[in-house]
Chains A and B, each alone.
Chain A
Amino acid sequence: MSLQLQDLSVDISGRRIVTDIGFTVPDGGFAGLLGPNGSGKSTILKAIYRVHRPSAGRVLLDGADLLSMRPREAARRIAVVAQEFTLEFDFTVAEMVMIGRTPHKRAFDRDDETDRAIADQAIAQAGCEKLAHRGFNTLSGGEKQRVLIAQAIAQGADHLILDEPTNHLDIRYQVEILELVSALGVTVLAAIHDLSLAALFCDTVHLIAGGKLIAGGPPQSVITADIVRRAYGTDVLVIEHPETGTPHLIPRRARSTDPAAPGSAHPLVPPAGTTT
């Protein structure tokens, strides 16, 4: 159940967006994909779920080439929770979750007992029982995210991709959503904006900047003041989370930046707006 990216490059409209990305998410692992806005995180994820066709490299699922599978077959192995979105036509939560069964059904198949049992189980697992008959568009951001996760659970895949699942959510939902995902026991690759939050939940993190993988490994080794400065071009303090010991970021005001701060070598992005 491992997910492996090998030398993945993606071009969009003739421009190279990501270059030679390679890492492996082990069976049952929770991997975070980190990086500044526009660094190519979403592009990498979209290359895995077939929105973009990679111009080079491969995606392997347990060693099998994911992109040469038929779309339905691939969708039974790998589910996706996209960023929060609004539907043009409202579906109820129960209908949304049942749509997760799409890759398992043929043209005239009805929803049978198995589908209903799986959908109910998915709704229960994601804690959406009370929402089942509500319209999706009437839900709050956090509730929507739970429903999309229930849909992904119903899809029955053993790999899960999440594109910034905690964006726009308040602190309670951020934690709840990531707790829910890590309790599923599937192999997870999630693009996460908040580095401290990623450090709290991920076994490994992979940091992308300018379309290249610049660091990968356990959060402690990747989320350091030095690497964050290289990737984001800003100075932060990194402390240890008092309970878990994971790295935790504290932002600093630009004006308080000490030009003599250690490790200012080779920034990928020039530190904008800093005064010397």
Chain B
Amino acid sequence: MILGVAVGSVPLSPAAVLRVIADHLEGHAQYSVADAIVWDIRLPRVLLAAVVGATLTTAGTVVQVLVRNALADPFLLGVSSGASVGATAVLLFGAFASLGIWAISVGSVLGALGAMAAVFLVSRSGRALSPTQLILCGVVLSALFESVTSFLIFRGNPQATQAVLFWLLGSFGLATWPQLPIPAIALTVAIGYLLTLSRSLNALAMGAEPAAALGVDVQALRRNLFIVTSLMAGVAVAVSGVIGFVGLVVPHIVRLMVGSDHRRVLPVGVLFGASFMVLGDLLARVIVAPQEMPIGVITAFIGAPALIILIRRRPYLYGTTG
């Protein structure tokens, strides 16, 4: 974290960073260049990256159990593209303008919930909810939502379009303090709630029927997990755009490290997801400095090879019987 704050186009020593933070915490901030860089630009950015990384990881972990598929992440189920539609509508057409800085969050959370609800309803066959249908519907509706986003961009005015495209690529470049509370609170609440469910998540990982036999109310659990992941993904997309691969890859890396027991996977995932994203954002800033790479490029470049190496070393984890 400190490293993330220290490194940048104007390098600062870790000691200088700590001094600025300490000054602020003690309430007598110095008005220096270092102060402005650390407190106003880099610190909120690093904290936001950490929160979003943790949120995407947690949402990914839960969605993978929800559909019993290792390839799932919130993007696959259309949540993120739904959130994009909501946020794009806000950016381009000023929907919910009366809500001020909350407008994008509200827009993208509504978009995410709408997408989740659509996927959920479409994939219901009779009463049972089949994971395969869920994924297929998610993929199809994802594509549809992406088209809606494209359509909105096409119809919007060119200047706003620039902002939307930048935002769709995913970035923490515009992070400010007022953006932090919503995702931080959302993450804390969601993690707290999910930790109370970690035993049920373990049972659900066995499959719907074994979970029912273990006394889990499967339908209610699935519905609640659906809502929680939509909220998390919606909030994350609202503040940072669409950042791929974290929700898919980090949960697997965590499972490979600590096993599948969600009482360990969830907390470790929060820490690891946060670190992963801070590091990714750091690389995004320094690799082509003073320009910035989109963070999604970095996460894909690190995530893809890391996961492939891990899968090849531990084939059993992914249902291949020897």
Q: Which residues of A contact B (CB under 8 A)?
A: 12-13, 46, 49-51, 70-76, 78-80, 82, 85-92, 95, 99-100, 102-103, 105, 107-108, 135, 137-138, 155, 161
Q: Which residues of B contact A (CB under 8 A)?
A: 64-65, 68-70, 126, 195-197, 199-200, 202-203, 205-210, 212-217, 255, 259-261, 316-322
- Contacts A100-B214, A155-B214; A88 near B68 (Cβ below 8 A): yes
Min CB gap A267→B, angstroms = 32
A-side contacts of B126, CB under 8 Å: 12-13
A-side contacts of B259, CB under 8 Å: 90-92, 95
Q: Is the CB of B207 within 8 A of A71?
A: no
A-B contact pairs, 23 of them (CB 8 A): A49-B212, A51-B212, A82-B207, A82-B209, A85-B206, A85-B207, A86-B319, A88-B64, A88-B70, A89-B64, A89-B205, A89-B260, A90-B316, A90-B317, A91-B202, A91-B205, A95-B261, A99-B203, A102-B200, A103-B215, A135-B317, A137-B316, A138-B322
Q: How far is the CA of A80 from the CA of B214 in the complex (A)?
A: 8
A-side contacts of B321, CB under 8 Å: 86, 137-138
Question: Among the listed A13, A71, A85, A88, which residue makes an inter-chain contact with B216, where contact means beta carbons less than 8 Å apart?
Answer: A71
Q: How far is the CA of A102 from the CA of B203 in the complex (A)?
A: 8
Q: Is the CB of A75 within 8 A of B213?
A: yes
Q: Is the CB of B68 within 8 A of A135?
A: no
Q: How far is the CA of A70 from the CA of B216 in the complex (A)?
A: 10
A-side contacts of B320, CB under 8 Å: 137
Q: Is the CB of A105 within 8 A of B316?
A: no
A-side contacts of B65, CB under 8 Å: 89
Question: Among the listed B195, B216, B260, which residue makes an inter-chain contact with A95, where contact means beta carbons less than 8 Å apart?
Answer: B260
A-side contacts of B208, CB under 8 Å: 51
Q: Which residue of A lies closest to B260 (CB)?
A: A89
Q: Is the CB of A87 within 8 A of B205?
A: yes
Question: Among the listed B64, B196, B215, which residue makes an inter-chain contact with A75, where contact means beta carbons less than 8 Å apart?
Answer: B215
Q: Is the CB of B213 within 8 A of A49?
A: yes
- Contacts A50-B212, A74-B215, A99-B214; A91 near B317 (Cβ below 8 A): no
Min CB gap A155→B, angstroms = 7
Q: Which residue of A lies closest to B208 (CB)?
A: A51
Q: 9 extra interchain contacts, Cβ-Cβ under 8 A, other than A49-B213, A88-B68, A102-B214?
A: A46-B209, A51-B212, A71-B212, A71-B215, A74-B215, A89-B70, A89-B260, A99-B199, A138-B321
Q: How far is the CA of A103 from the CA of B212 in the complex (A)?
A: 10
Q: Which residue of B lies closest to A13 (CB)?
A: B126
Q: Is the CB of A90 within 8 A of B260?
A: yes
Q: How far is the CA of A261 from the CA of B280 in the complex (A)?
A: 78
Q: Is the CB of B210 within 8 A of A80?
A: yes
Lowest 3 A-B CB distances belong to which pairs?
A: A75-B215, A80-B213, A103-B215
A-side contacts of B319, CB under 8 Å: 86-88, 90, 137
B-side contacts of A103, CB under 8 Å: 214-215
Min CB gap A145→B, angstroms = 13
